């Protein structure tokens, strides 16, 4: 999940860890502050989905919810709408109907919020199942390595030929091993 949408009522600021949502004006009706829609494949019909968010700072008007929509854009099922508290928050939608075309995860700000009110989200994730689990930060170097190896296998059918020499400030000594891989030392 990486394409979130917002409305002009809010100013969104990326933080070192997470995002800050600030009310630009007083809120006079319930509006979404941040949402994301995801297409649901038939393999997920009948499944449970859980949205978990780690909240760093909130106000009394912030909530989160999951909606299931059919292909006509009508809400056919929703999770409970919960008021956000600092720390871990989660909602689940159980047994997605067969007619579910997409789900929408949503953070809302209800009427009564004032200009300058803030909601800070450290992280959020949507997962299959009804139990929440902690978010594990992905090691970018290992993910890149997996991508490079996957590309090499898919394009050549062979992994030992992958040359994953790192770019280094010093000049390393490179030894080609008998298995076709490389060993590096400085």
For 36-58, the pLDDT digits (tens) are 999 998 899 999 999 999 999 98
Does 78 or 130 have the greater pLDDT score?
Answer: 78
pLDDT score recorded for residue 176? 84
**Tokens (6 digits) for 132:** 């929440």
| β-sheet bridge partners, residue 19 | 14, 121
User: d(Cα 103, Cα 96) in Å, to the nearest integer?
Assistant: 9
Nearest CA to 114 out of 14, 5, 22 is that of: 22
Q: Mean of the per-residue pLDDT values for the chain? A: 83
For residue 121, what pLDDT band results from cuts at 50, 70 and 90?
Answer: very high
Query: Cα separations (Å) of 14 from 37, 140, 142?
Result: 20, 19, 24
Range with lowest mean pLDDT among 2-16, 27-41, 98-112, 143-157 = 143-157
Question: How many Cβ atoms are within 10 Å of 97's Cβ, its own excluded?
Answer: 13
Ramachandran sector of residue 24 (left: φ over 0; alpha: ψ -120 to 50; beta: rest): alpha
Element at 141 (helix H, strand E): helix 140-156
CATH number 2.40.128.720 given to 10-128: no
Give the pLDDT mean for 19-36. Answer: 87
User: d(Cα 65, Cα 131) in Å, to the nearest integer?
Assistant: 16
pLDDT score recorded for residue 143? 72
CB distance 96 to 56 below 8 Å: no
Question: How many Cβ atoms are within 10 Å of 121's Cβ, its own excluded?
Answer: 25
**Domain extent listing, the chain:** 10-128, 140-185
User: Cα-atom radius of gyration of the chain, to the nearest Å?
Assistant: 22
CB distance 36 to 1 below 8 Å: yes
Residue 19: phi and psi, rounded to 5, are -145, 145
| β-sheet bridge partners, residue 83 | 63
The whole model's pTM is what?
0.69
């Amino acid at each position: 999940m990486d394409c979130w949408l917002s409305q002009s009522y809010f100013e969104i600021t990326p933080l070192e860890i997470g995002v800050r949502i600030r009310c630009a004006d007083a809120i006079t009706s319930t509006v979404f502050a941040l949402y994301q829609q995801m297409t649901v494949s038939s393999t997920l019909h009948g499944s449970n989905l859980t949205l978990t968010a780690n909240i760093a700072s909130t106000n009394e008007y912030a909530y989160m919810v999951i909606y299931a929509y059919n292909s006509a854009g009508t809400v056919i099922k929703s999770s409970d709408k919960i008021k956000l508290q600092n720390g871990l928050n989660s909602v689940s939608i159980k047994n997605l109907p067969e007619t579910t075309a997409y789900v929408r995860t949503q953070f809302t700000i209800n009427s009564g919020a004032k200009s300058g009110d803030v909601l800070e989200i450290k992280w959020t994730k949507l997962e299959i199942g009804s139990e929440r689990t902690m978010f594990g930060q992905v090691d970018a170097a290992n993910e890149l390595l997996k991508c490079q190896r996957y590309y090499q296998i898919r394009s050549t059918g062979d992994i030992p030929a992958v040359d994953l020499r790192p770019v280094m400030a010093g000049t390393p000594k490179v030894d080609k091993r008998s298995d076709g891989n490389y060993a590096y030392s400085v």
